[in-house]
Amino acid sequence: MLHTVNKSPFQNSTLESCLRFVRPGDALLLLEDGVIAAAAGTAKSGLIEGALKKNLSVYAIDADLKARGLTTLTKGVQVTDYAGFVDLVEKFTMHAWL
């Protein structure tokens, strides 16, 4: 499964909900405001740290990170682009946590 989250973890509980339904081997792609979850050293960084420990692959869209000036990311988050997004969509069944 590929899960996508486009909301900040400070805005609502979408990411937390998503993480209740992920299974080991799943991928999580953070995009739009969702990339805020990838930032290191925030009060919400623990969500992604926990996800990585559960053997989840975590990706964040570089355009969204750059737009927000987010350069210090939680270790283990993989930065990707739209082509990488397409590769993930091709590989997995997707659930957009809108």
Cα gap 79→91, rounded to integer Å:
17
In the complex, minimum distance from the CB of residue 25 to other proteins, in angstroms, rounded to a whole number: 9
Cα gap 12→72, rounded to integer Å:
22
21: tokens are 């339904």
3-state secondary structure of 5: strand
Q: Is the separation of the CB atoms in 91 and 2 below 8 Å?
A: yes
Output 23 or 53, the one with its CB closest to other proteins.
23
**x/- string (CB under 8 A) for other proteins, residues 8-27?**
-----xx--x--xxxx----
Site residues (CB under 8 A) for other proteins, limited to 39-98: 93-98
In the complex, minimum distance from the CB of residue 49 to other proteins, in angstroms, rounded to a whole number: 20
Binding site residues, other proteins, CB under 8 A: 1, 13-14, 17, 20-23, 93-98
